[in-house]
Structure 1
Amino acid sequence: MQINSALQSIFDNFDNSGKLFIAGSRNVIKLFDYEGAVINVKAFKVPNWFNKIIYNYFRESKAKRSYTYATLLLERGIGTPKPIAYYEEKSIFGLEKSYYVSQHLEFDLMFRDLVENNNYPDRELILKQFMSFCYKLHQNGIEFLDHSPGNTLIKKENDSEYSFYLVDLNRMIFHKEMAFEQRMKNLSRLTPYQDMIQIMSKEYAKLSNEEESLVFDTLWKYTSEFQYKFYRKKRIKNKLRLFN
């Protein structure tokens, strides 16, 4: 895509400019002033030699997918920070650096805050409204593969209304429609807590006209399976570290 000189300057000087927002193990996000607003620039980790070739010839980069998926979400009325641009640097070896640019969203909490604090104000109300958001996502056939506690930003609009915004968008599948089992599995990474699952299940059942017990039992089954695999993988990693 066409990149103007102001954005090009941000990409060229990314390492030595901007305000650090998130320094992850794989990706870095910084904030910059751009055309009178604050933008969010995500720099993806330079891929290994194999993925450099894959992203250059066979698969779209994470940056391009993030931009494309954000555009598709907004077209379907699903909240996400407004996409501005993506940028890729390539060499004879394939994809090198890549960036995704969006408007910076001032949010009040993440879904993770509801998981970590069972006394969070309006917790039940937020969970119910979040289920409406998820139901709309599923009705649009959108399977958000990274649907985890840190990837939904929440903004309080007034005393009784909250808005939801998806981030970290590069892994999605767009279906014509989603089956019930797919929907429940898609919600299984959000929380390990049964009290939250009960509230979420009850609300999703109302919206979908499914039996509440069926929604709860299915969602709890997939949640339990995910938690078992997650902690099993974590234990294995910890054991491997002991031998290194």
Structure 2
Amino acid sequence: MKNRLNPDEILVVKENRAQGLKKFSYRFKASKGERHWNNASEMIRRGVNSPKPIAYFERTKNAAITHNYYVCEFVADAFSARDAFMAFAEGEEQYAGFDKHIIYRAIAQFTCKMHNNQIVHYDLSGGNLLMTKNDHGLIDVTVIDIGRAAIFDGKRITEKMRLIDLMRICYKLDWPNREIFMQTYFDEFGKAFGPGWRKPLEYYEWKQQTKRKIKQALKRIRRKR
């Protein structure tokens, strides 16, 4: 959407609405629009890139379970970690002009910095990490879809909490590339890279495959009706 006050600026408008069980659980939370605004503001304050928040809109009653909106800057000329990782899983060694190891390093540095700043995204799929080429020819990483993120004060982000994000990032990679990326992250983390990293990724892969099978089964049932 173009900014009517500045036609050269493109904005993103994210519509949020609670569905299913969330209509009940969200009653006890701030609206997603407000959560996006608060999280983006605090992430930027802590030096973690997220698109600049512009505004959020919500109703005065039942704000979290009725339509609400979050407006932020648009990240131009970006590609996602998902796009790059899918290419690497298919055997490509470069994406968007960058060697895969450079992309792995940029994402690992960004994600580790986010965790070191006491932030856990909780929905960090590859599509929620955007990358752009800066004026120095290097990669800038930006995180989006931050409504579920948890931002802590004075709390140590454990390895288990870090893996909640990492297993989602790695999902589109094949196993050899997953190991390369995880090794890169643990190098940034400054910790020994042990064998325990595989189990969370195996669980997440099983979970996603199971969800896909259930959805496909439900579609077949609907077609027969």
Classify the TM-score, shorter chain: 0.7 to 0.9
Which residues of 2 match residues 1-244 of structure 1 at below 5 A? 31-36=1-6, 37-45=9-17, 47-48=18-19, 55=26, 58-90=28-60, 95-118=65-88, 119=92, 120=95, 121-122=97-98, 123-158=100-135, 160-175=137-152, 176-192=155-171, 193-212=174-193, 214=194, 217-244=195-222
Residue 224 of structure 1, CA deviation? 1.2
Distance in 1, matches of 2:114 and 2:15, equals 27
Q: Is the 8 A contact 1:139 1:178 kept in 2?
A: yes
The alignment yields a C-alpha RMSD, in angstroms, of: 2.3
* TM-score where L is the length of structure 2: 0.83
Distance 1:235 1:151, change over 3 A: same
Residue 174 of structure 1, CA deviation? 2.0
Q: Is the 8 A contact 1:88 1:95 kept in 2?
A: no
Letter in 1 for 2:11: I
Could you say which structure has the greater relative contact order, defined with CA pairs below 8 angstroms and 6 or more residues apart? Answer: 2
Distance in 2, matches of 1:171 and 1:146, equals 7
Q: Is the 8 A contact 1:67 1:85 kept in 2?
A: yes
Distance in 2, matches of 1:189 and 1:94, equals 26
Residue 80 of structure 1, CA deviation? 0.6
Deviations 1:103-132 (A, max 9, x none): 111033101111221222322201111101
Q: Is the 8 A contact 1:90 1:96 kept in 2?
A: no
Residue 133 of structure 1, CA deviation? 0.5
SS at match of 1:79: coil
Letter in 1 for 2:198: W
Distance in 1, matches of 2:202 and 2:62, equals 46
Residue 100 of structure 1, CA deviation? 0.3
